[in-house]
Amino acid sequence: SCPAHAVSFARDGGGDRGRDYDPSRRHLVSMLGVAVGGWALLRIVPRAHHPDPHRLRPPGAEERALLSSCIRCGACIRVCPTHGLQPSLVEAGLEGVWTPILVPRLGPCDYSCIACGEVCPTGAIPLLALDRKQQTPIGKAYIDPRICIPWSGRGECIVCEEMCPLPEKAIVLEETTSQDEAGEVRILQAPVVLHDRCIGCGLCENKCPVNGEAAIRVMVDPMS
């Protein structure tokens, strides 16, 4: 051995030298995790207090009753003949994740269909007689004149009026004028929604020929 004791050996710490427990570092990592999780929740939860106006429920389904009764089985989504019923992601807030919503751009609510009410095992979607279902509003259709073809003066289009399935149509036509690049004034037929008749089936939105977002969209009735 070294007589001057100039050489010594430290006890092996198991190879973790330089990685000692640092409570401040662990706390920082934990706080970052909480912050990220909280931010994600805040992105979702406020929608429960400020509902998405396009959060459309199946006919007859009342929001609070659906949220408390729906077991997220997906039966209604599977039987929807138009594929318009889709699972909600954030549209209905955190508590509404995976509950059914109607997305008319993907598929309207078939005017002659009550399948979702027939298969719902809990009554979250009530089983309505067909004649009652055809009078039960899902929402109301609203036209955006900025992108509607005739209202914006870009040409003729009456597709939504033609597609409305109601015996007494909820969409009627009125005359509007448009001036082309040559200065010639044209008379166009433009659609107007009669909200006292509209049941929000979404067929008009589904068939609207405007690319991307439709010029006519169904929204939750603010009076409901």
So what's the pLDDT on residue 28? 46
Same-domain pairing of 80 and 115: yes
All residue ranges of the chain with pLDDT < 50 are 2-24, 26-31, 34-36, 38-39, 41-49
CATH at residue 93:
3.30.70
So what's the pLDDT on residue 13? 44
- 168/161 Cα distance (integer angstroms): 11
Give the DSSP letter of residue 39.
Answer: H
Amino acid letter, residue 63: E
Domains: count for the chain? 2
- Domain span including residue 212: 137-224
This prediction has a pTM of 0.76
Strands (E), the chain: 85-87, 100-102, 140-143, 171-179, 185-193, 216-219
> Which neighbouring-strand residues pair with 87?
100
So what's the pLDDT on residue 156? 94
Is 3 contained in some domain?
no
Last residue of a domain, one of 110, 136, 162: 136
So what's the pLDDT on residue 92? 83
Is 181 contained in some domain?
yes
Same-domain pairing of 145 and 130: no
So what's the pLDDT on residue 32? 52
So what's the pLDDT on residue 43? 47
So what's the pLDDT on residue 11? 44
Is 179 contained in some domain?
yes
